[in-house]
Chains A and B, each alone.
Chain A
Amino acid sequence: DTAVSQTPKYLVTQMGNDKSIKCEQNLGHDTMYWYKQDSKKFLKIMFSYNNKELIINETVPNRFSPKSPDKAHLNLHINSLELGDSAVYFCASSQDQYSGANVLTFGAGSRLTVL
């Protein structure tokens, strides 16, 4: 029973297109995140939501629009895709963001390739 699941696992698309990645967690966690991992493996936080509310937006371009319909779901929509958007996007969740040990549980990742 997957704790954090994201779809699709692979996404190949042309520059200029719009695409979405979906994420769901069944852990009952309050906080969800999107991280971007580039080709050099660097993991960078993009967004954080706590109980459907946006908490962190790490100066991500407006082309990226997250949406959290409820605390178990956090989706990422990307408009006008650029070559530099190619990366693995990881969804993650944590119990909340205030507890002392803020353990992140990651999804399997969605590899986006922009041609």
Chain B
Amino acid sequence: GENVEQHPSTLSVQEGDSAVIKCTYSDSASNYFPWYKQELGKRPQLIIDIRSNVGEKKDQRIAVTLNKTAKHFSLHITETQPEDSAVYFCAARTPGGGGFKTIFGAGTRLFVKA
């Protein structure tokens, strides 16, 4: 089955700096890669996603890149702000068990210091 690995587990940056979170996946049949942000005590919410036929996608300060050959995808946050502090999850949508399922990485706790 699909395995999604995420690094680093914790990331601390200064306000205004960039943050990069990297993920790898194992199942070449995975075709959709969302990123979710979870603030303390809240529900995970989608911030950006990318399909397997696209190499890069950008939305204001956040961007995601996908390397299908290497089975890597990354989240880039530029000009970080204190409100970016949260746990970020990468995920991969993969076929399995008669349907599709979204498998999450272990999460990266991002701290943005003012």
Interchain CB contact under 8 A, B44 and A103? no
Residues on B close to A: CB < 8 A?
31-32, 34, 36, 38, 42-46, 49, 51, 87, 89, 93, 96-104, 106-107, 109
Interface residue SS majority, chain B: strand
Residues on A close to B: CB < 8 A?
40-45, 48, 50, 55-58, 90, 97-98, 100-104, 106-109
A45-B103, A56-B99 as given contacts; A101 in contact with B51, CB under 8 Å: yes
- Give min CB distance, B16 to chain A, whole Å: 26
Bound CA span A102–B107, Å:
19
Residues of B within 8 A of A103 (CB): 34, 46, 49
Bound CA span A44–B89, Å:
12
10 extra interchain contacts, Cβ-Cβ under 8 A, other than A50-B99, A55-B99, A97-B100? A41-B106, A43-B107, A48-B101, A55-B97, A56-B98, A56-B101, A58-B101, A100-B31, A106-B43, A106-B45
Interchain CB contact under 8 A, A100 and B106? no
Interface residue SS majority, chain A: loop
- Give min CB distance, A95 to chain B, whole Å: 12
- Give min CB distance, B106 to chain A, whole Å: 6
A43-B44, A90-B43 as given contacts; A104 in contact with B102, CB under 8 Å: yes
